[in-house]
A and B are shown apart, each in its own frame.
Chain A
Amino acid sequence: MAETITNENKKSVASTSKKSPKKDESKDTIWSRRDFFSIAGWAGFMATLGLSSLFFTRLLFPRVLFEPSPIFKAGKPSDYTVGEVSTKFIKSQRVWIVRDLEGIYVVFGLCTHLGCTPRWLNTEKKYKCPCHGSGFTKDGTNFEGPAPRPLEHLKITLDPDGIIEIDKSKKFLYEKGEWGKPGSKLLI
């Protein structure tokens, strides 16, 4: 240390400028030792804080949920008649299973107005919501009442044993053009 100071003193004397030794020191290194430790300390602190925030965010999403599975089996395709709306699963799973000439699709029994469960009126061939009178055609298209968009369709597939599998966590929305997408209808 003593040597450097004397060297710097010599330099400053030689250059005849009145710069302080500290300024010279900061000239030939990017950071002083104090700067380096300060920056390293803060960087470490912020990194720890940032990482623990990430860990905490991930912690809030457990790997296992003790909830009913959104996936359920709904029998064989031959259980459903062409042109009919099956109300077999409306009580337990809140869905209607509809078969037309092309295949089978699933209509979610949740009114798109305020979330009540509509009823299938077989004589009038429509879903009717008891809360505010929204009406939907057989495929779920809204045609009367306050509902702003059609009922949602849910994912339907066939498992290797030929049994219908319905996944309620995957929705198909008409207004997004998703009704024709793979999984929205089981073609037979």
Chain B
Amino acid sequence: MATKKPEIPTLATLVEKLKSGELYEEVKKEVLNSQLWTSSFRHGYADTPRNRVLQIVSNVWLHLHPVKIHRHALRIKFTWCMGGITFLLFLSTVVTGVILMFYYRPVGEYAYFDMKYLQYDVPFGMLMRNMHRWAAHAMVITVWLHMFRVFLTGSYKPPREFNWVIGVFLVTFTLLLSFTGYLLPWDQLAMWAVTVGTNMARATPFLGHEGPFQEYVFGVSPRYDARSMLIGGSIVGPPALLRFYVLHCIFIPLVAGALMIVHFWRIRKDGGISGPL
């Protein structure tokens, strides 16, 4: 079979092609028709209502978002964008937190020194730690402001009452994330803050050994109660550090993440962001 060899273009023809724009068109055509491109971007840029809908619903990252929103939903004066800012801060803590995990060991002997190592010996370590800390502080503030806004605008009323309850769980998990993260620097402030905080668990009804009705529950004692379950012993020691680390990095973010998915999805299903009356 005598196939025709592809012609090797000379430099002169190439330059001519480049000048006329023919080369650009050829490359563009080649790229846009490639399997990689067509399987990744399944819709063009046509600015028609139908195509815009397709762009949103056929994208896993965008499909949680509504295809169209009310004009009032963009009014910053109404929403303060507090929910969105809270989510952005959550994402920052996830990214910086994962980076911190490359160096931090939740072990009594190492934790404090790993924190110091991150601050003084790891390039950009101080930046990551401070970003994580400040984003966490800011998130606690913005989540409350978001709740305040939702309350003021009456957005907790039916049909949005389910989402309000999800939001209450989310604010609780935000505070628990903050509390569990507080222990991890493993310094005196962390130790005593968590000692005071977990001492409150002694007074848990039924399950705390100093709480009301504990005498009706079998086996509740200082050794077996809500507090010792939380800190894995009777004092805030290495077991407490490991437990708080697992809660902080794995358990609570997973649960909060799942609730966030429900929260965002319900906004859309409950008729979008509530509008001014």
Contact = CB atoms under 8 A, between A and B. Distances in A.
- Is B one of A's binding partners? yes
A14 B144 CA distance: 72
Contacts of A65: 233-234, 239
Contact of B228 (A61, A66, A70, A115): A61
Contact of B232 (A57, A62, A169): A62
Contacts of A60: 229, 232
Given A169-B222, A169-B223, A61 B229 contact: yes
A67 interface: yes
A67 B229 contact: no
Interface in B108-132: none
B78 interface: no
B223 A67 contact: no
B235 A67 contact: yes
B237 interface: yes
A65 B223 CA distance: 10
B193 to A, nearest CB: 13
Chain A interface size range:
10 to 19
Contacts of B222: 169
Contacts of B238: 66
B179 interface: no
Interface in B209-246: 222-224, 228-229, 232-235, 237-239
Nearest to A57: B229
Nearest to B219: A61
A155 to B, nearest CB: 12
Contacts of A70: 234
A60 B228 CA distance: 9
A150 B227 CA distance: 24
Interface of B: 196, 199, 222-224, 228-229, 232-235, 237-239
23 contacts: A57-B229, A60-B229, A60-B232, A61-B224, A61-B228, A61-B229, A62-B232, A62-B239, A65-B233, A65-B234, A65-B239, A66-B237, A66-B238, A67-B233, A67-B234, A67-B235, A67-B237, A70-B234, A115-B196, A115-B199, A169-B222, A169-B223, A169-B234
Given A66-B237, A70-B234, 18 more contacts: A57-B229, A60-B229, A60-B232, A61-B223, A61-B224, A61-B228, A61-B229, A65-B233, A65-B234, A65-B239, A67-B233, A67-B234, A67-B235, A67-B237, A115-B196, A169-B222, A169-B223, A169-B234
